[in-house]
Chains A and B, each alone.
Chain A
Amino acid sequence: MYPESVKPPFVGAWSKDQIFIRLDGRGNRIYYPGETLAGSYYLNEIRLDSIDSLEFSVLWRTEGKGNEDVGVHAFWRLSSQNGDWIDPLQPGRFSVVLPQSPLTYNGVIVKIHWSVRLRVFLSNGVQLLEETPFYLGDLPDMRTLKLFTG
């Protein structure tokens, strides 16, 4: 419906169900600093010869009224031109040790979100993007805390 250059605002709608990311561990997606985040990704309806490269990253970003900041904690790139084998029929695995900070924060003015992002570059120039959010730490929601503490 919208031009390709426009990103839909929410995760999950970008790759049109062609990419799945699953995180191992607890169902609440809460991980603690220093813990190992592991998971796998699946590529659906993508031919083997149509994949040019694949980028996987674990990152955090701020959200609020001001400018957006992004920090990349881990990054891998697989490229078929460099001889890396990218098989869409087999799930890919990833594992990374999470840092001590910044913790996920749900403030009113500013928020910090962590997510696992997978970007697939197809040989026809199309990019597919998928993000799965998770929590680093379990800081309480400041607004909720205020409500209960008065």
Chain B
Amino acid sequence: MNERFSPLPGGNPFSTRFTAPGKAPFFFESSYIDRIKNFHPNKFAEFFFSTVGAGEDLRHVVCLRFLVDQFISHSCRGQIVGDHGSGKSSLLFYLKDVLVKQGYDLFSWSLHDQNRFLPESFWMELQKFLQKTPVLLPTNFLLPPPVMTSEEYTAQRREFLKEIFPDRDFDQEAARSDGGETEEEFRVSSTESASRSPDEVVDAKTESVEGKAAAPKSVGVFGFNSAGNFGGLPSGGTTDLGSLGFKKPSEPIKFSAFPDTETLEAIANDDTEDYDDVELTATENEDSSESGYNGDDVSQKTLEIPFNFDVEKKRAFFDRKILVFDGFEQLSFANRIIIRTFCRMNHLGLLLTSHAPMIGVPVLFRTIPSVSTIRQLLDFLLEDYEEFKIGDSEVETLLKNFHNDVREMLFSLYDAFESFRLAPADLREKIIRRYPR
């Protein structure tokens, strides 16, 4: 039988297995929790008493929860600022952990050296992350077109609609549309047609094609094309303009840079076009159940805004999604502005780490390693290696020599431990004293 629980003799406590973000705790300064206690006593009491008895490190958890509370109070926007190897990624790991436990959806992206631009894979992954958003969300306008087939896109939209309108049976409607019962739904909408039922609109369009009735007065042609983008008429589409009520102008339209007043009056008095009455059709959910979804043509639908959609629920849906960037300073200035604007326009949270503060994003925490925090980290790592002891003076020298870069300092200690591990007992003390270097 073997002896139990003996650690591997060749193990090195400074390897990345034990020092990578998430493998060792992030140690806060004792002064930080004192500041929370003094300046936010109510929150401190709340976090403290909710943590007591949970079997976790109180200081660690209280500080993390306070940071997350600050992050949420700033509309889910915040950044961690610090130098190379100062522990930004470690702190970010635990913040993400707390945010996930609180029910937030996170999209994490790490940027490495010379990543000046976001790759295409980023937008692809982001699109996957935001797939659950309803069709009417503005994210559809800003995202690049999806690289997928029409069938895949239709299936995805069907799933989205099922989540939003669970009462409706979209599979049956899709099967019905495959049978040819419904017509293409680039909706002709006007003050007149809006008051009519969908069947009457279809009848009117059919009559106009046959030339038996006058065309509808005004036209609004909007919808999502097959690529998932919102826009007007599809390029090269099969929509018959005549059936939609467009009138071909008898004379070519003349454009002038400075139209005179007569031209403007002529345009105002022109009764041939009724574009002033154009408005988008806004239907209730119950109405949209009849004409809002047509199976494979779902990507070519009229933009129908369900008014009875819970606005608060929609806001909560937005606010629960956060984009997390590690190493945000790698991006170019333009890309940083694009991401910041993208998150603001889409009501997405933004949590990032950077070397220098990004304008417009509040700074949550500045990571500055100190002797006391490094002391705690070394005590944690060397819990089973009591013979490898490093004093405070060595730690101070190490921090000074490595310019507060804890990562490089741990790499140096890795080499020192390798030398220490196989050295004779009389040389071990010299090895420890020889480091830091």
Contact = CB atoms under 8 A, between A and B. Distances in A.
Nearest to B101: A5
Nearest to A17: B5
Contacts of A20: 4
A3 B7 contact: no
Given A3-B56, A8-B383, A111-B12, A22 B61 contact: no
B149 interface: no
B17 A68 contact: yes
Interface stretch (B22-30, B197-205, B278-286): B22-30
Interface string B48-64: 00000001110011000
A7 B422 contact: no
A64 B16 contact: yes
A3 B61 contact: yes
Q: Interface of chain A, helix or strand or loop or mixed?
A: loop
Given A2-B380, A23-B1, A111-B10, 10 more contacts: A6-B25, A12-B6, A20-B4, A21-B4, A63-B17, A64-B12, A64-B16, A68-B15, A106-B10, A111-B12
Task: Classify chain B: how many residues form its interface, as a range.
Answer: 35 or more
Which of A4, A8, A24, A65 gathers the greatest number of chain B CB atoms within 10 Å?
A65
A66 interface: yes
Contact of A10 (B7, B22, B60, B94): B7
Contacts of A64: 12, 15-16
Interface of A: 1-13, 20-24, 27, 29, 61, 63-68, 106, 108, 111, 113, 132-134, 141, 143-144, 147
Interface of B: 1-8, 10-13, 15-18, 20, 22-25, 55-57, 60-61, 94, 97, 380-381, 383-384, 411, 414-415, 418, 421-422
A11 B12 contact: no
Contact of A67 (B5, B6, B16, B381): B16
A141 B13 CA distance: 18
B56 A22 contact: no
Contacts of A66: 16
A2 B16 CA distance: 19
B422 A2 contact: no
Contact of A23 (B2, B23, B61): B2
Contact of B1 (A1, A8, A27, A134): A27
A12 B57 contact: no
A3 B15 contact: no
Contacts of A11: 5, 7-8
